[in-house]
Amino acid sequence: MLPESDGGPSGRSHDGPHADPPGSPSGGPPGSPPGEPSGDDRARGRRSFRAGAAWAVLLVALLLTLLLSLAVGSRPIPPAEVLRALLHGGDGAEAGVVLEMRLPRTVIGLMVGAALGLAGAVLQGLTRNPIAEPGVLGLGQGASCGVVLAIALFGVHTLSGYVWFAFAGAAAAAVVAYAVAAGGRGGATPVKLALAGAAVNAFAVAVISAVVTTDAAVNDEFRFWQVGALSGRGTDVASQVLPFLAAGAVLVLVAARGLDALALGDDTARGLGQNVAVVRVTGAAGATVLTGAAVAAAGPVAFVGLAVPHVARALVGADHRRLLAACLLLGPVMLLLSDVVGRIVFPPSEVPAGVMTALVGVPFLVATVRRRAVVAA
């Protein structure tokens, strides 16, 4: 009788054809030396490195842009003086410029840029439309309509007074657009939302045109607000819109996981356990609050909500939790950089930030479109 092999009762040796090759770690590719990472591990490492580098670039870009916004203008101030004014205050001329003029302007730009970037990313995800932005539901023109009516009918003539009417106009536009889209078969589908938003947008433009073309005084006052700018905004405006911005940011972050499911289609999202109607209402409500507060604070600033999500998506991918976090950082970078360029391009005059956003943002968006496919989610 032959003795049992060392492989156990079955008589199969560990050195048989099904054993791991000598020197190869279990699960690793045959012939690889012990301890060497597999191809999947190396790929994951490269992805992690690229993701970390992208976040580092975004953070550094935001900090540098904040410093530029405080230091650059018709009167340049050295960065050391800016930091001294922020940390220790002071009653000198340079400290006064930083603390009383540029700091409120920078805070407004930080808030408005973040709000528009978040709103654009959410609306592109909700509608699965790569060219969607806060105007897709008529939010910007609704806010403008609210300001026009505030000037013409209620005699409001201050930025702090415009805030409430602009927010109310944006909210009314969103409610009407969603109510129109939700009627009929299929509910508020992305196509119906876009069409309803276009209709609301056209109606708001018609109301604005009717008022400003028949009242020269209203036209003179409204056109300075309509271009979108950060100058002249004080801490009172920032304190008024901050609660709305915080509430809107919470709503869109709550909807983030549902937006990832919506990107696969409504039926698939339902199969994954998502309530599609709740996701759409939550995301649209958050985008409405963010856009209304941003437009109320700085006027209808264009292009930020369209361009920022595409650039952020190219950096961090399409997962909405990472995408929204990137838009939170990248939106202020684009808006504040546009504002800084507007201060120095035609000194001593300034070009409003709402004009410069398109001029500064177009190269970023064109480069992104040329490098990769543009998707909404």
CATH number of 187's domain = 1.10.3470.10
Is the peptide bond preceding residue 17 cis, with omega within 30 degrees of 0?
Answer: no
Count of helix runs (H) and strand runs (E) in the chain? 15, 0
Same-domain pairing of 282 and 323: no
Per the listing, tokens 């339902």 go with 270
Query: What is the rounded distance in angstroms from the CA atom of residue 257 to the CA atom of residue 280?
Result: 12
Query: Which residue, 300, 327, 359, sits at the end of a domain?
Result: 300
Q: Are 160 and 345 in contact (CB under 8 A)?
A: no
The single-letter code of the amino acid at 122 is V
Q: Does the global pTM surpass 0.85?
A: no
φ, ψ of residue 100 to 5 degrees: the values are: -95, -25
Would residue 118 count as lying in a domain?
no
Query: Which residue, 261, 279, 300, sits at the end of a domain?
Result: 300
Q: What is the pLDDT along the chain (377 residues), one digit of tens a residue?
A: 444 444 444 444 444 444 445 444 444 555 555 555 666 777 777 777 787 888 999 999 999 999 999 999 888 899 999 998 888 877 788 888 888 889 999 999 999 999 999 999 999 998 887 878 887 778 888 988 998 999 999 988 887 788 788 888 988 998 898 888 887 777 777 778 888 888 999 999 999 999 999 988 888 888 877 778 888 787 888 888 899 899 999 999 999 989 988 888 888 888 888 888 899 889 988 998 898 889 888 888 888 998 899 889 988 988 999 999 999 999 999 999 999 999 988 887 888 888 888 787 677 667 766 765 555 44
Q: Are 129 and 310 in contact (CB under 8 A)?
A: no
Close Cβ partners of 44 (under 8 Å, ≥ 6 residues apart)? none
Would residue 357 count as lying in a domain?
yes
Structure tokens given for 346: 């035609």
Question: By CB neighbour count within 10 A (0-12 exposed, 13-18 middle, 19+ buried), where does 218 fall?
Answer: buried
Which of 305, 311, 310, 290 is CA-nearest to residue 354? Answer: 305
Same-domain pairing of 181 and 135: yes
Question: By CB neighbour count within 10 A (0-12 exposed, 13-18 middle, 19+ buried), where does 47 fall?
Answer: exposed
Would residue 15 count as lying in a domain?
no
Same-domain pairing of 149 and 241: yes
Would residue 114 count as lying in a domain?
no
Query: What is the rounded distance in angstroms from the CA atom of residue 231 to the CA atom of residue 112?
Result: 13
Same-domain pairing of 238 and 333: no
Same-domain pairing of 278 and 181: yes
The domain containing residue 370 runs over which residues?
A: 308-377
Would residue 91 count as lying in a domain?
no
Query: Which residue, 277, 300, 323, sits at the end of a domain?
Result: 300
Per the listing, tokens 């970037």 go with 117
Same-domain pairing of 187 and 269: yes
Total of domains in the chain: 2
Would residue 28 count as lying in a domain?
no
